[in-house]
Every structure is written in structure tokens, then in C-alpha cells.
Amino acid sequence: MANSPTQGVFKPNYLNACNSPTSTGAQDSVTGAAIPTGLNPYKVIELSFTEAQASQAPSPSIEQLFEGDYMWVQVDSGATQTEIATGRPAFYKLSAASNSVNPILSVTGPTGKTAQSLFAGVFLNPITAGNWGFIFNGGGRVNVLYGATLTIGGGAAIGDVIETTATGTFDDTSASTVTNFSVGIALVKPIINGTSQVYMKQRFPRCCGGL
């Protein structure tokens, strides 16, 4: 099981700029083979606000790194590339039903997900299908992308329950009602077709999803 917090973890790039073809984040320039770094598949690191800010790419299009947990994941090779983008939800994809030892082997967008309730976190940047990168995994703040409509609409407010959607964005659904798709609480008033901060108190390990 991944260690959280973890000290001295190798980071192949800024956390919101990783897009590695290897599970270790490094490869031989000639053979393309993975080079051992100590960075393991689905490793989780816990960062303070200061540590997260120091790990963020300069001038990001959307500020994404705050205090919280970050997980090193592989994007499913069959993922729809446009769904793997900054601020969008990541979902766990289950392997074949016969694999009871390691049932979750990748993350994906809504098109390839096994179930909407198997929430994994929030994508920090585009990652090529089949490659590796970090996602926000809970336990802090993150900016999420909202869709063209919100269930609450004009009544959206700080403190509302935030859910994932089947189309790969987030939605403000209620001032208090929690469902299997709920993942956090609005810290800033949700914005239609925009981004704002959500607090995700829960972590979302590979065994489960949902609030």
C-alpha cells in the first residue's frame, strides 16, 4: 500500500506537468527502458500548502496544487484523450473480474470508467493515454472544472455538495445532500463553465470511491 506522507519521493517534473511513458518517471534515453527511481505505481505523497506550491509548474493555466494527497497513476491506454485534462475528474477502471489480487490498474475519464462512484481524484494536467502522471487524490483543496449547467444553478453557494458528472466535469447538486457521486464541498461559489476551489476531506485510495 502506498505510504502517506512519504519523504524523499522522486518527482520527474512539476506535479502538474508530469507525462511519463514509464512507471518510474524516468527512462533510458537509448533503449527507452524504465530506470528505477523509487517512484512506484500508485504511490501517494502528502504535501503541505508550501510544499505543493513549490512543486507547481510556473504560471499554470489553473492553479491546482494546494495541501493534500497526490497519487502517481497510469492513464488507461484506451482513455478518451480530451477527458484527461486539468480540473476534470479521474475515475478508477477495474481490470478483468478474474483479477482479485490487483483489481484496479489504471485511471480514466468518464467514457472508460467502470462506475461513476469509483472516483479517483482530479487531473492536474493532460496526460497521454497509457502514460503516467500525478492526480490530486483528496485530503485538501483543488480547483475543479464545472459544466455548462449546475443542478442548483443560480443558487450555487459556498458550502454546497459537489459531485462528479457522467460527462467529465463537476456539478453543484445540493446545499447538504450527499450521494455516491459526492466528492467534496465548495470553498468558492461554483462557476458555470469555469473553475473554483473544492475541499475534498476524504482521500480516494484504490480500494474505493465516493464521499
Cα–Cα distance, 143 to 194 (Å, whole number): 10
> For residue 120, what pLDDT band results from cuts at 50, 70 and 90?
very high
Cα–Cα distance, 36 to 27 (Å, whole number): 8
* End-to-end Cα separation, the chain, in angstroms: 21
Cα–Cα distance, 27 to 180 (Å, whole number): 39
Bridge-based pairing state of the strands 119-123 and 132-145: antiparallel
- Chain segment 66-117, per-residue pLDDT in tens: 999 999 999 999 999 999 999 999 999 987 766 666 778 899 999 999 999 9
Query: Rounded to whole angstroms, what are the CA distances from 125 to 3, 5, 8, 85, 203?
Result: 23, 22, 23, 5, 19
- At residue 11, what is the residue type? K
Name, in order, each residue with C-beta under 8 angstroms of 168's C-beta and a sequence gap of 6 or more.
83, 88, 89, 109, 110, 111
Say whether pTM exceeds 0.75.
yes
The whole-number average pLDDT for the span 143-162 is: 95
Cα–Cα distance, 12 to 133 (Å, whole number): 9
- Chain segment 10-27, per-residue pLDDT in tens: 778 899 999 999 887 776
> For residue 6, what pLDDT band results from cuts at 50, 70 and 90?
low
CA dihedral for 46, 50, 51, 56, sign (positive or negative): positive
For the chain, the domains span 15-203
pLDDT at 184 over 60: yes
> For residue 163, what pLDDT band results from cuts at 50, 70 and 90?
very high
